Amino acid sequence: MSTAPGLRAFASDNYAGVHPDVWAALADADADHAVSYGADPLSARLQERVREQFGEQAFAVPVFTGTAANVLALQAMTPPWGAVLTAAGSHLLHDEGGAPVRIGRAPMVPLDTDDGRLSPDMLAAHLDRRGDVHASQPAVVAIAQATEAGTVYTPEQVRALADAAHDAGLSLYMDGARLSNAAAALGVPLRAFTADAGVDVVSYGATKNGAMGAEAVVVLNPEAIVAARLLGPADLPGQDPEDAGARAAQALGYLRKQDMQLASKHRYLAAQLLALLSDDLGVRLAGRANAMAAQLADRVAGLDGVELVRAPEANAVFARLDRAVADRVRARHPFYDWDAAAREVRWMTSWDTTPGDVESFVAALAEALDEAAAR
């Protein structure tokens, strides 16, 4: 699906451009030479900011893509015999091209859920074969915040899931491609539903929220990095071998290099992440996208021929409408089908979506509905 000049898309928040403050941060990073592979001052400042935002144990491992963040995190958290429990409609299962299994070598176990969220009781049925040599062993629970269904976990819901996972000996991973949208929706700091709620590892999504190819794995609990247990003293020169954080960082460093995600000019990734984590820029941009989704849902709710699937909780609006109507509207404002058989579509708003964009979309939709009714 391509866009012509002047068109504004509601297909994906990946369609949006780079925020001016992120461009400015990139320009500042470009001012002089800097040591490569993460040994530069900007990368050090990023780690300081991550500790401020997520807790004293936290550290970030910047990568280029969200797929890489998911694969690297699960690869580091899952033993060779382990499996990952995740929602049946999750991005990990349907939109990573099989990378978590092919590259991360972590089997995915789908759990049915009505709204994209997992709950503690959903885990129980998948724990009864622990210790059975014939079965993959559940090792990680993977959730998304916000979910693929556009829903958001509250801190209390995350805590309940984390407690259930930990009680069963599993770790909790959070795919945070839209982490800032969730923080804006909940009105709480990033750590409130991550580190403070028992999440072990989270990805911080930036590309969908004003960056250009920058994501990060953020380790909140270094004890959850199973790969770190394979390291010997020779892997930790000059470091305390009992330091869980140092071991986790070293293990992720090795894995990131093998996964082809170690940036030589690391400062350009760090600069973007640092910009979004400074002065709540990322949360403010995500809040703007959320507000536009709420406005869009409110404006289309009264149109005959449009059925909202649920009230938006972040920056995604799901609706049902006639296929011919959808095709006519997307010629002006591209968007994707979510479930074509059910006539369900998804409309995504972005940090740069404006009220004018929403009004233009609503006008195009109303026009298409009127034409369909007149036939």
In tens, the pLDDT along 90-118 reads 999 999 999 999 998 889 999 999 999 99
pLDDT of residue 374: 86
- Checking if the pLDDT of 5 tops 90, the result is no
Q: What is the secondary structure of 167-215 as a DSSP string?
A: HTT-EEEEE-TTHHHHHHHHTS-GGGGTGGGT-SEEEEE-GGGT-SS-E
Domain 33-278, CATH class in plain words:
alpha beta
Percentage of the chain modeled with pLDDT above 90: 93
Sheet holding 215-219, edge to edge: 59-63, 215-219, 201-205, 171-175, 137-144, 82-87, 108-111
Q: Band of the pLDDT at 372, cuts 50, 70, 90? A: confident
pLDDT digits (tens, 9 = 90+) for 333-349: 999 999 999 999 999 99
Which two tokens mark 180? 């800032």
Task: Give the pairing type, strands 201-205 and 171-175.
Answer: parallel
Question: How far is Cα 58 from Cα 204, in angstroms, rounded to an integer?
Answer: 12
Band (pLDDT 50/70/90 cuts) for residue 3 is: very low
C-beta of residue 148 within 8 angstroms of C-beta of residue 86: no
CATH 3.40.640.10 residue ranges of the chain are: 33-278
pTM of the predicted structure, to 2 decimals: 0.96
Span 22-31, pLDDT tens digits: 999 999 999 9
Classify domain 282-374 by CATH architecture.
Alpha-Beta Complex (3.90)
- DSSP strand E in the chain: where? 59-63, 82-87, 108-111, 137-144, 171-175, 201-205, 215-219, 307-308, 316-320, 336-339, 344-348
Which residue type, as a one-letter code, is found at position 370? D
Rounded to 5 degrees, what are φ and ψ at 108? -105, 130
Q: What percent of the chain has a predicted confidence (pLDDT) above 70?
A: 98
Q: Please, where in the chain does CATH 3.90.1150.10 lie?
A: 282-374
Contacts of 159 (CB under 8 A, 6+ apart): 197, 198
Picking from 78-82, 129-133, 267-271, which range would have the lowest pLDDT averaged per residue? Answer: 129-133
Residue 218 has pLDDT above 90, yes or no: yes
Q: How far apart are CA 306 and CA 302, in angstroms?
A: 8
Q: How far apart are CA 75 and CA 79, in angstroms?
A: 8
CA distances 261 to 87, 101, 219, Å, are 26, 17, 16
pLDDT attached to residue 106: 85
Q: What is the pLDDT of residues 133-189, one digit of tens each?
A: 999 999 999 999 999 999 999 999 999 999 999 999 999 999 999 999 999 999 999
Q: Given a cut of 50, is residue 2 above it in pLDDT? A: no
Tens digits of residue pLDDT in 309-331 = 999 999 999 999 999 999 999 99
What's the whole-number average pLDDT of the chain?
Answer: 95
